[in-house]
Amino acid sequence: MMMMMMMMTGAVTDDTGVFTRERAAGLYRLSAYYLAVMTTEIPVTFILTSVFVVVVYWMVNLMPAASNFVAHWMILELSTFTAQVTCRLSNRLSFCHKNMSEKDDANIR
């Protein structure tokens, strides 16, 4: 599961160049970009986590009750989604802070 999040970190930094150029051109706001990225990644994350849980839960032979399986699945879905949102949000907030700092530095000079 952590490997999926590590791959996600690479994807976050890959689109920084495109985001910078399009944001500088004033094509869209940060919130619009963030919501678009999150809504497109939610189904992929949901499917990957579900496949992981179905395979690993039964392979490890955890408690074979359906209620335990669903509880385990929901906990992993929520934790993965929370990690994804936190990763994207912290990246974008730091990016905005960096841009604001650069603008302040340019105004001082």
Rg of the chain taking only CA atoms, in angstroms: 19
For the whole model, what pTM was predicted?
0.62
pLDDT digits 0-9 by tens, 29-86 = 777 877 887 788 888 888 988 998 889 888 888 888 889 999 999 999 998 888 888 8
Residue 53, C-beta contacts closer than 8 angstroms, at least 6 positions apart: 69, 72, 73, 76, 77
pLDDT digits 0-9 by tens, 20-37 = 787 778 887 777 877 887
Contact 87, 8 (CB under 8 A): yes
Q: Determine the 3-state secondary structure of 15 from DSSP.
A: coil
Structural domain boundaries in the chain: 2-108
Number of H helices, E strands in the chain: 4, 0
Return the axis-axis angle of helices 16-24 and 66-108, rounded to nearest 10°.
Answer: 50
